[in-house]
Structure 1
Amino acid sequence: MAEIKWEIKKELGSIGEGKWKKEVNIISWNDKPAKIDIRSWDAEHKKMSKGITFSRDEAKKLKELFNSLDLDTLEM
């Protein structure tokens, strides 16, 4: 299995607490263009869980989707 390389370009925020924190960052994976990335990380950013990445256009559409929702009325 090939080694995975990553560079956190900017930390945007954390949406979780605990030993592993769910974070929103801008990350370049394997020297490719950076994307918005959401996943859990250990405190040293050496280990991570599976996550999801978004291009700028995908992030804009996701933002529009969340802005259109009334989260207080969703059954969850």
Structure 2
Amino acid sequence: MAEIKYEIIETLGVLSENAKGWKKELNLISWNDREPKYDLREWDPEHEKMGKGITLSLVEIEELKKILEHIG
């Protein structure tokens, strides 16, 4: 399996942290030297290991924002 290259361009916020120090973060990340996208997933304290997550374009994050505004 090919290695996945990533660069965290900006950490936008931390949603939570578990007892082992892993944090659920919203980051702007460039995957495999591509245009940065918004990414929500758990990371270990050193940002070397990651959990499953979702990656969203700017259009998708704007739509998500509209949905969340109606939740409360």
Same fold (TM over 0.5): yes
Structure 1 match to 2:13:
13
Is 1:28 paired with 2:9?
A: no
Query: Which has the higher Rg, Structure 1 or Structure 2?
Result: 1
Task: Provide the rounded CA distance (Å) in 2 between the counterparts of 1:41 and 1:29.
Answer: 15
Q: Report the Cα distance in structure 2 between the residues aligned to 1:56 and 1:17, rounded to whole angstroms.
A: 25
Structure 1's consecutive aligned runs of 4 or more residues displaced over 2 angstroms after TM superposition are none
Percent of residue pairs bearing the same amino acid type: 53
| RMSD (Å) for aligned C-alpha atoms | 0.7
Structure with the larger strand share: 2
Picking from 51, 54, 64, the partner of 1:62 is: 64
Shift of 1:17: 1.3
Number of residue pairs aligned between Structure 1 and Structure 2: 70
TM-score for both structures, normalised by structure 1: 0.89
Distance in 2 (CA, whole Å) between partners of 1:17 and 1:50 is: 15
Separation in structure 2 between the aligned mates of residue 43 and residue 24 of structure 1, nearest angstrom: 14
Structure 1, unpaired ranges of 5+: 71-76
